[in-house]
Amino acid sequence: MDAEVVLQEEDMEGSWTLLSWLASFVMVFGGALPYVPQYQEIQKSSNTEGFSTRVCLVLLIANILRIFFWIGKQFELTLLLQSVVMILTMFAMLHLCCTVQNANRVSTKQHRLSDLNLHYFWKWSAFEDYLLFCFGFTVVCAVITLLLLDSVVFVETLGSLAVMFEAMLGVPQLLQNFHNRSTKGMSVKMVLLWTAGDVFKTTYFVMNESPAQFWVCGSVQILIDVAILLQVLFYSQDTRAKLG
């Protein structure tokens, strides 16, 4: 009888371990999944106007900060790997956007990081400028973190900044839709996957007792996702009314 109980406990433990690994896998790669339909949409239409590249800016800053937060407060390795995957995904999105925009550009004038023109910040023509900006930002963060790594206040502030930026992920897209008075060119699948992913990861954060910054961030993201989905409904109805 005792042997059967032990076997049952081992089976349950094995099942839980498998689910835990599966959840970790989804956490690492699931965040990048929403950008697949948007990537395909841009490739198909050869138009980037519906997608805000500032989403990439927000996520790059958030995940670079999160990596340094991990150095100061080593939480789940899963979240560190998630940041690395997300950074690579954002670079892929930016590379595509630069390629499409340069192919469609009528004017020969290029906007470069070296111009130091704030009006064209994050609207550069060359993908290399985005890489250079992120490299510079990373170096600055590395130096400051190295100097203040022993400060608990600094580390917690770093974590708060990381999740604050991540929580604002959908804001650039929300504003872009508002400015365009349309969600045309934006992948609705991307936003639906954002929402599903944010619900999943917020639940994951709570269940794994991750730092409070993470589940607060997830909750804010869910609210913004819902707001963007409401924009989809509103602008589609508005368009139909105008056509009617």
Per-residue pLDDT of the chain (244 residues; tens, 9 = 90+): 455 554 455 555 555 577 777 878 887 888 888 899 999 999 999 988 888 899 999 999 999 999 999 998 887 788 889 999 999 999 999 999 999 998 887 766 788 898 888 888 999 999 999 999 999 999 999 999 999 999 999 998 988 888 888 888 888 889 989 888 888 888 888 889 889 888 888 887 788 777 777 788 888 889 999 999 999 988 886 555 443 4
- Kind plus residue range of the DSSP H or E element containing 9: helix 2-30
In contact, 169 and 58? CB cutoff 8 Å: yes
pLDDT at residue 56, as a whole number: 94
Environment class of 188 (CB within 10 Å of its CB; exposed 0-12, middle 13-18, buried 19+): middle
Cα separation of 49 and 32, whole Å? 20
Which residues in 208-229 are b (16+ Cβ under 10 Å) and which e?
bebbebbbbbbebbbebbeebb
CA pair distance 188, 200, nearest whole angstrom: 18
| Tally of CA atoms within 13 A in the half-sphere of 48 that contains its CB | 20
116 class by beta-carbon count within 10 Å (0-12 exposed, 13-18 middle, 19+ buried): exposed
pLDDT at 185: 83
Look up residue 52 and give its amino acid. S
Output the pLDDT for position 187: 86
Residue 243's pLDDT is: 37
pTM here? 0.79
Position 11 scores a pLDDT of: 54
In the DSSP assignment, the letter for residue 186 is S
Amino acid (1-letter code) at residue 92: A
Torsion angles phi and psi, residue 197, rounded to 5? -65, -40
Q: What is the pLDDT of residue 13?
A: 59
3-state secondary structure of 30: helix
Are 174 and 231 spatial neighbours (Cβ–Cβ below 8 Å)? yes
Identify the CA nearest to 79 among candidates 210, 196, 195.
210
* Spatial separation of the C-alpha atoms in residues 205 and 200, rounded to whole Å: 9
